[in-house]
Amino acid sequence: MTAEIERAAHAYCPVCTPDPGRGDLVTALCGATHPFWGRRERPVNNCPACEALAAGTVYPCGHTGSER
Ligand SMILES: [Zn+2]
Ligand SMILES: [Zn+2]
C-alpha cells in the first residue's frame, strides 16, 4: 500500500523538480524522497499529505505553487 503511494501520487514542487525523469530520486512535498515514477500513472492513490500541501499557497520548500 505504502509502496504504491510512494510510486504514484506524491506531488512535487515544479521549481525544485521541474522535469524529473523516471527513476530519478525526487523529494515530494510531504518530504518523502523516492524514485519518480510519473505523476499520472495512478491518480487513484493520491498521497494525502501531498494533496494538502499542494493545495496550500506555499510549499514546504518555500516556493509557491504559482511562482513565475
Ligand atoms: Zn506525499
Ligand atoms: Zn521548491
Query: Looking at the predicted structure, is the pLDDT value of residue 68 above 80?
Result: no
- For residue 54, the ligand closest to its alpha carbon is 1
Tell me if the pTM is above 0.75: no
For ligand 2, the distance from its centroid to the CA atom of residue 12, given in whole angstroms, is: 8
pLDDT in tens, 3-47: 444 444 788 888 888 888 888 888 888 998 877 766 555 556 678
Distance (angstroms) between ligand 2 centre and the Cα of 44 equals: 24
Q: DSSP letters of 31-63?
A: S-EEE---SSS-TTS--HHHHHHHHSSB-TTS-
How far does the centroid of ligand 1 lie from the alpha carbon of residue 32, in Å?
6
Q: Quick one: which of 14, 9, 27 has its CA closest to 64?
A: 14
- H/E segment holding residue 28: none
